[in-house]
Structure 1
Amino acid sequence: MKHLVVLTGAGMSAESGIKTFRDADGLWEGHDVMEVASPQGFANNPKLVLDFYNQRRKQLFEVIPNYAHKALAELEQHYKVSIITQNVDDLHERAGSSKIIHLHGELLKARSIFDTDIIYDCNDDIKLGDLCPRGYQLRPHIVWFGEEVPMIETAMEICATAHILLIIGTSMQVYPAAGLLHYAPPDIPVYFIDPKPAITPKKHLTVVSKTATEGIKDLLKILT
């Protein structure tokens, strides 16, 4: 069975109602991203950061997977599918996909500020005073600016085994995720779905200038 590796980003979940990471003015839900997505921001105002992600978590329960999420899950009937996502939501899981790597963490998990390996499932608010067994504050299990991306090497290894690569909902402008394309074997088919693609079609690269839900329909005609 051929291995289909899928790289997904914010555009994948935008059609489900989840706002993209930052708006045109550089703000995320009205906040400077460095206030709510950096270790320094957390050190300066941990309550603000916890409240911010508590609200993102609540919003997650108000949305559902869209057609594109479900289509990727259905492709498992035809391919071995590995999804590498920059998204922190669980919409791929809820749609039924079985192998998902979250590069930037998961909103429905919490971890200790003392040990990054102390991770818990988290469906409720994280508050100041919520501690791990070692007595350290819990924080969202999110990769913030300035932090290492622990799953990037695993993602590189997965890309290296791809027979087909699909990029959907991400501009591939943010590193280290943007570099994953270069770890796929040369000359394999690559499909890039984005309404405003910042990439030029090439011999083995097909660009579909559509949203995730519309572009995936074109792709299904090719792959199934």
Structure 2
Amino acid sequence: MKKKLVVLSGAGISAESGIKTFRDADGLWEGHDVMEVASPQGWHKNPNLVLDFYNQRRRQLKEVQPNAAHTILGELEEHFDVHIITQNVDDLHERGGSTKIIHLHGELRKVRGEHSENELIHWEEDVELGYKNQLGEQLRPAIVWFGEAVYEIERSIPVVEQADILVVIGTSLQVYPAAGLMHYAKPHIPVYYIDPKPATIYDLPNPLEVFALSATEGMRKLRDLLIR
């Protein structure tokens, strides 16, 4: 029986593949105010801008590759029952070889009807105004915007509760409810936190080891530690 290794990942793991995080730039994401492109208000104000923004992000995905942190997590499935809960909307975990992934904040390669919250349509190309689902609703990115419910949090909590080992990687632990997930871990299991600028973690009863390293460096170190 393999031990259950649960990974909470954030933007830092994808940054080394060339995907920009918006936390690094005063709330700007690729030059845009986050609320313009990642909120229902922004969508109602200027849907063309929002669609264009995510079209560009979707195109960018075709130009980037998973890095060593992603591929090491994929390889660890040989040794552990690996479950990844990610805040990232890219598909680099999938392409890195991981097979059990929950996307808390949605996926760039999925779209849905404007009012169909449970609908997910796989989508590779651009989305334009006038593209509709079968109910006649305008298609929008299947991304969880600020102010929208994070439905996948309910599916994530029992995964964390069952972990034998918890890894937190590439996240500033600023975005809730995702940042609160680690507190559902059993109090005796080891927690490893990998981030070049790690946040201070309070009130965690677990044995905690912090690697103040990039995602790739930290995952190489952790792989050697876990497999040894």
Distance in structure 2 (CA, Å) of the matches to 1:165 and 1:10: 18
Would the aligned equivalents of 2:191 and 2:206 in 1 still touch at CA under 8 Å? no
One-letter amino acid of the structure 2 residue matched with residue 211 of structure 1: S
One-letter amino acid of the structure 1 residue matched with residue 26 of structure 2: D
What's the CA shift for 1:22?
3.7
What's the CA shift for 1:199?
2.2
Question: Secondary structure, in 3 states, of the residue corresponding to 1:97?
Answer: coil
Partner of 1:217: 220
Q: C-alpha deviations, 1:14-64, integer Å up to 9, x for none?
A: 000000134333211111100000001000000000000000000010000
One-letter amino acid of the structure 2 residue matched with residue 206 of structure 1: E
Distance in structure 2 (CA, Å) of the matches to 1:60 and 1:99: 20
One-letter amino acid of the structure 1 residue matched with residue 194 of structure 2: I
Residue 80 (structure 2) pairs with residue 118 (structure 1): no
Partner of 1:129: 130
Distance in structure 1 (CA, Å) of the matches to 2:139 and 2:40: 13
What's the CA shift for 1:203?
6.3
RMSD over aligned CA atoms reads 1.2
One-letter amino acid of the structure 2 residue matched with residue 198 of structure 1: A
Distance in structure 1 (CA, Å) of the matches to 2:23 and 2:191: 27
One-letter amino acid of the structure 2 residue matched with residue 199 of structure 1: T
Q: C-alpha deviations, 1:112-135, integer Å up to 9, x for none?
A: 012112220010001000001111
Would the aligned equivalents of 1:126 and 1:138 in 2 still touch at CA under 8 Å? yes
Question: Which runs of 5 or more structure 1 residues have no equivalent in the other structure?
Answer: none
Would the aligned equivalents of 2:111 and 2:121 in 1 still touch at CA under 8 Å? yes
Question: Secondary structure, in 3 states, of the residue corresponding to 1:111?
Answer: strand
Question: Secondary structure, in 3 states, of the residue corresponding to 1:125?
Answer: coil
What's the CA shift for 1:200?
5.5
Would the aligned equivalents of 1:107 and 1:141 in 2 still touch at CA under 8 Å? yes
Distance in structure 1 (CA, Å) of the matches to 2:106 and 2:201: 30
Partner of 2:209: 206
Partner of 2:177: 176
Question: Secondary structure, in 3 states, of the residue corresponding to 2:102?
Answer: strand
Distance in structure 1 (CA, Å) of the matches to 2:109 and 2:71: 20
One-letter amino acid of the structure 1 residue matched with residue 165 of structure 2: I
| Runs (4+) off by over 3 Å | 200-203
Structural mapping, 1:41-52, within 5 Å: 41-52=42-53
Question: Secondary structure, in 3 states, of the residue corresponding to 1:73?
Answer: helix
One-letter amino acid of the structure 1 residue matched with residue 33 of structure 2: D
What's the CA shift for 1:218?
1.0
Q: C-alpha deviations, 1:157-179, integer Å up to 9, x for none?
A: 10000000000011212100011
What is the TM-score with the length of structure 1 in the denominator? 0.97
Question: Secondary structure, in 3 states, of the residue corresponding to 2:199?
Answer: coil
Distance in structure 2 (CA, Å) of the matches to 1:107 and 1:21: 16
Distance in structure 2 (CA, Å) of the matches to 1:39 and 1:24: 22
Would the aligned equivalents of 1:200 and 1:207 in 2 still touch at CA under 8 Å? no
Distance in structure 2 (CA, Å) of the matches to 1:162 and 1:203: 12
The alignment of Structure 1 onto Structure 2 pairs a total of residues equal to 224
Question: Which runs of 5 or more structure 2 residues have no equivalent in the other structure?
Answer: none
Question: Secondary structure, in 3 states, of the residue corresponding to 1:55?
Answer: helix
Stretch moving more, 15-24 or 122-131: 15-24
